[in-house]
Amino acid sequence: MNLSSQRLCLLTILVCAAGIYIYPLALGTPLTDPDEGLHASIAQEMVDRGDYFIPRINGEPFRDKPFLYSAAQAISLRTFGMHEAAVRAPGALFALLTAITTVLLARRLFDEETALYAALASLTIVMPIVLTQCPAHDVALVPWINLIVLSFWEQERATSAKSRWLWVAAMAISIAFAFLTKGLIGVAVVGTGLGLYALVTRSISPSLVVRMTVALVAGAVLASPWYLAMESVSPGYLKYYFLERHLLGYITEGQEHSDTTWFYYVGPVIGGSMPWFLFATAAFLQSRLDACKRSFRPELLLACWFVGGFVFLTAAGSRLITYSLPLFPPIAILGGLCFRRYFHSELANFPRRMFVGGFSAVAAFGVIAPIPTLYVLSKFLHSPSPWMAYVVAVLASIAMAFGFALFARGRGQRALATGMLWFPLVTICLMTWPVQKLANEHSQRSLAAMVTKLDLAPEEIVLVGQRVGSLRFYLPPDQRAWYSHNRSREADPREIPTLLPPPPGVLFAITTKELRRQKWEEAMRRLDFRTAGGFEVTQGVPNDLEIASRSEGGNR
């Protein structure tokens, strides 16, 4: 790879990092509910209480997730202020850390050139891009999984006992961070893949079992102070989290996110990683053909990581697309390896045809897709875009077309670097315009703004069709405190007959989708209702006695 092509690839990597992960922070996109808004409110409450160790919601310990990601959000809010960018900044940084650790792993498994292409892949796989725009705890988990795999690989290759045990210690630390981010599930996803690799390569030995056991136990010990602290403030937490959430959540379908088919991950993981999944498959096939000529173990490790994790998640009773994030780094590395082998004419006939066909198909899609995508969003999702959005979409098409032209002339590295500019341009286009309207319809920011401006603040806020998420985050501190004490809640749709019209002092907000599904539009239209984002809102006026009672109690 010549120096100019290397510099162009490095420039594209910086543009992708800035355009896909940093630029959206400046847009002030509303927090989407319920999950992103809920976790933002948890982090906000950590700041308000000055407690960055125990996550709470409404003053009660939040028992569903460990604290690490919430603490990172809370520190960001404390540092930068109570706004959307501060909520999302940790997610963007963890996503970039994922790319960095993926590059490091690719460099140790293969070489610097493969690592360079793996960086482009890691930054531009579609599904992680989408999931990082509304980050959850799983975004923070992937870097630790990458480091667990790296530590496993290095301790396997170590030639001295001292070096081997140093890598075991590094693995223990990474496991501890994984425990504090996602619990046992974070280690189980990658542990399945590493176990599969040991079986396939017949490298299981008493010493390997001892080292892995030491790393796992040491990681659990390092993470245990937080879990013991949670048990202290919320008795029964350990039983709930490890038995009910972990064990029963895996082996039964009576848990949250369980109403899915067994092939739930096929489309999002394979489709969401195209075309890199196709390139990764071509690289693995080539490695199988070359297995008799050189070591096949790095590629096999990556394949076992992906297959083992995929099977583990598929077999689980509870499924959610964010759980799949740890499956994408091996795709990125194998995809980068495929590009390096193509550029060095190391692909056999069939893998080469897969590569050329995949590159041509994605180039054609990239040239054609941006304008129709804006049209579809405008026509069917009612998210129109201004003319400037179409200008950026055309630039994305031009970048891909120019990249394909370079590819056809045999200038592969420049083609890759140029064509990959499509991803930041499309991200900028979609995030700047149509996504803003869509996000507002799935956020409680407009509802919070309405509550803030009311002349007569409601005694209680009742939501139907969405649990309380970012509502409290967007309220002023005094109102936030008032509505945090069981004065804002989600109601079951069966309560609608008692809420239309709302009782005195109750503000009733129902999502437009739920209103139509429950067939209460006519009843709502007869009331004095207003629209706030994706909610239809009406309010019951308190009687004089209730107003007086509230005044005597000292309103907020």
Closest by CA to 283, choosing from 363, 347, 226, 375, is: 347
Buried b (16+ CB within 10 A) or exposed e, 465-479: bbebbbbbbbbeeeb
Distance of CA 290 to the CA centre of its chain: 36
Residues forming a β-bridge with 507: 461, 539
18 assigned to some structural domain: no
* pLDDT at site 545: 41
35 assigned to some structural domain: yes
365 assigned to some structural domain: no
User: Are 59 and 169 in the same domain?
Assistant: yes
Instruction: Give the rounded percent of residues in the chain with a pLDDT score beyond 70.
Output: 94
> How sure is the predictor about 549, in pLDDT bands with cuts at 50, 70 and 90?
very low
Using DSSP, state whether 26 is helix, strand or coil.
helix
Compute the mean pLDDT over every residue in the chain, rounded to the nearest whole number. 90
Closest by CA to 102, choosing from 91, 89, 116, 86, is: 116
59 assigned to some structural domain: yes
Rounded CA gap, 129 and 16, in Å? 11
> How sure is the predictor about 316, in pLDDT bands with cuts at 50, 70 and 90?
confident
Q: Which two tokens stand for residue 528?
A: 């004095």
> How sure is the predictor about 342, in pLDDT bands with cuts at 50, 70 and 90?
very high
Full-model pTM: 0.92
Q: What total number of domains does the chain contain?
A: 2
Look up tokens 């709470």; give the residue. 56
* pLDDT at site 59: 87
508 assigned to some structural domain: yes
223 assigned to some structural domain: yes
Amino acid at 117: Y
* pLDDT at site 547: 44
For the packed helices 349-368 and 276-290, what is the interaxial angle rounded to 10 degrees?
A: 170
Domain that holds residue 132: 31-252+264-347
Rounded CA gap, 137 and 350, in Å? 40
User: Are 333 and 452 in the same domain?
Assistant: no
Tell which phi-psi region holds residue 486, choosing left (phi > 0), alpha (psi between -120 and 50) or beta. Answer: left
Tell me the average pLDDT across 306-320: 87
Instruction: Give the rounded percent of residues in the chain with a pLDDT score beyond 90.
Output: 72
Q: Which two tokens stand for residue 311?
A: 């099977």
Pick the last residue of a domain from 317, 332, 347: 347
Closest by CA to 130, choosing from 363, 339, 439, is: 439
User: Quick check: 317 pLDDT over 80?
Assistant: no
Pick the last residue of a domain from 289, 314, 347: 347
User: Are 461 and 314 in the same domain?
Assistant: no
Kindly report, residue by residue over 262-286, the tens digit of the pLDDT: 788 999 999 999 889 999 999 999 9
368 assigned to some structural domain: no
Kindly report, residue by residue over 58-117, the tens digit of the pLDDT: 889 999 899 999 999 999 999 999 999 999 999 999 999 999 999 999 999 999 999 999
Tell me whether the omega of the peptide bond preceding residue 424 falls within 30 degrees of 0, making it cis. no
Which residues does 389 contact at the CB level (< 8 Å), separation at least 6?
374, 429, 432, 433, 434
User: Are 122 and 234 in the same domain?
Assistant: yes
Pick the last residue of a domain from 281, 315, 347: 347
Top-confidence range, 213-222, 516-525, 526-535: 213-222
1 assigned to some structural domain: no
User: What is the SS3 string spanning 304-373?
Assistant: HHHHHHHHHHHHCCCCCHHHHHHHHHHHHHHHHHHHHHHHCCCCCHHHHHHHHHHHHHHHHHHHHCHHHH
Amino acid at 476: P
